[in-house]
Structure 1
């Protein structure tokens, strides 16, 4: 996933009343590993899932 915002994402715990903030938390829970790379035009966030 990529976008044109240079700030890297940060893992946080969303409250029940928050409108957002759960995406990276879910990726962290489901992925084998993940990371983010800053580019001159924004950033890329990647993840690897376990097979099976």
Structure 2
């Protein structure tokens, strides 16, 4: 399980990036590659996490 945190209380949302956009593809990639992912609000911001499948899964 990998977790990344920041101090923003706003939960992430997946969006559709245009070809010319420099950002906006992170959750698209996580959603395509991870077995599970989610986000949790904390008193100091949030944590976004994901789990990758192992070879045996």
Deviation at residue 13 of structure 1 after TM alignment:
1.1
Superposed CA RMSD in Å reads 0.6
Question: Unmatched 5+ residue regions in structure 1?
Answer: none
Q: State the 4+ residue runs in structure 1 displaced beyond 3 angstroms.
A: none
Question: Unmatched 5+ residue regions in structure 2?
Answer: none
Matched length: 52
TM-score between the two structures when normalised by the length of structure 2 = 0.87
